[in-house]
């Protein structure tokens, strides 16, 4: 038995709207996460990224670490950026960067938020 064309079109419209919502919602969540990550990164008692890195919009940046610019180009794989923040000594045992995850300086969700922020730079 054939389905009426109207039902098929309605189902297609619902699927299209749901698909569009899926695309929009993560971007909004990512923006909120990046904003939270910026607060953690600039917090002198948490991320304190400005102590060592120059970051656009930050006051009194340090110069021990590299400037945080073009991060998507430098870390095309976001998981590698997260691993670097979690424990930089894995790739470079002489790194001055604190192992934020390994030493529980930041929570896992704070690290995720900082990664989202750093990825926008």
pLDDT at 109: 95
pLDDT at 3: 52
Pairwise CA distance, residues 55 & 109, whole Å? 21
pTM strictly above 0.75: no
Architecture of domain 5-118: Orthogonal Bundle (1.10)
Instruction: Read off the DSSP letter of residue 26.
Output: H
What's the mean pLDDT when you consider all of the chain? 82
pLDDT at 31: 84
CA neighbor of 40 nearest in space, from 114, 99, 105, 93:
114
Q: Which residues of the chain have pLDDT under 50?
A: 5-25
> Do 118 and 70 touch, CB atoms closer than 8 A?
no
């Amino acid at each position: 038995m054939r389905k009426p064309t109207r039902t098929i079109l309605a189902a297609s419209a619902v699927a299209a709207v749901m698909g569009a919502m899926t695309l929009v919602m993560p971007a909004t969540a990512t923006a909120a996460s990046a904003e939270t990550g910026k607060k953690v990164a600039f917090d002198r008692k948490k991320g304190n990224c400005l102590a060592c890195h120059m970051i656009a919009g930050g006051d009194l940046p340090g110069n021990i670490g590299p400037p945080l610019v073009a991060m998507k180009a430098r870390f095309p794989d976001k998981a590698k950026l997260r691993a670097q923040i979690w424990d930089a000594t894995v790739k470079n045992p002489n790194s001055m960067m604190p192992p934020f995850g390994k030493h529980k300086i930041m929570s896992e969700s704070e690290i995720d938020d900082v990664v989202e922020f750093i990825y926008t730079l």
